[in-house]
Amino acid sequence: MSVASDRELSDRLARGDRDALGLLYARHGSTVYAVILKLLRDRAEADEVMQDAFLEAWRRAVQYQPERANVAAWLITIARSRAIDRLRSNGTSQRTAELAGRAPEASSPGPELVVDLVRARAALRLKLEALPVEQRLLIDLSWREGLSHREISAHTGVPLGTVKTRTRAALKTLQHALRALRG
């Protein structure tokens, strides 16, 4: 008996095959859960969001486009979105402040925080656009398309080591930009 590929499982899922959902859960559940838990920092909440995320994957299976992202990236995107929705609905200003690199405020985020976040996002976007084209392409393929280093290498024809080096350099540049913004 051969092991089904993610693509085969996603096709089966789109046809309503519950076993395919279980296999995808078994294959990618721990990674998806880790992303959720990192955002929420609460196991009970993470458990609920995990269930919501896979339920949404079940409902939206026919909308999945394998040419845009691999199955793991698609599942992580759904889970991350559900976790962020949970953070917003809970009004967790402490986590919002942590993400912004500021101390938690006693009340909900005020206009100053929103302005700071907008400025930080704009500055980071400018830094991203200022990256050399070969670095920006790798970041784009990694984050927007959900490709691994190996997949990026195969897609672009750039050696794997070069992909890793360029990606690391781009991330280091963006990390320095974020540190400068925090001042």
Q: Could you read off the pLDDT of 32-77 as tens digits, one per residue?
A: 998 898 889 888 899 999 999 999 999 999 999 888 888 988 999 9
pLDDT confidence bin for 104, thresholds 50/70/90: very low
Least confident window among 67-71, 78-82, 102-106, 143-147: 102-106
Q: Write the DSSP string, 109-156.
A: --HHHHHHHHHHHHHHHHHHHHS-HHHHHHHHHHHTT---HHHHHHHH
Q: What is the pLDDT of residue 112?
A: 66
pLDDT confidence bin for 92, thresholds 50/70/90: low
pLDDT confidence bin for 14, thresholds 50/70/90: very high
Q: Domains plus CATH for the chain?
A: 6-90 (1.10.1740.10), 102-182 (1.10.10.10)
Distance between CA atoms of residues 5 and 27, nearest Å? 10
Question: Rounded to two decimals, what is the model's pTM?
Answer: 0.51
Is 160:153 a contact under the CB 8 Å cutoff?
yes
pLDDT confidence bin for 103, thresholds 50/70/90: very low
Residue 148's CB is within 10 A of a number of other CB atoms, namely 15
Summarize the confidence of residues 161-172 as an average pLDDT.
91
Question: String of b and e for 55-72 (b: at least 16 CB within 10 Å)?
Answer: eebeeebeebeeeebbbb
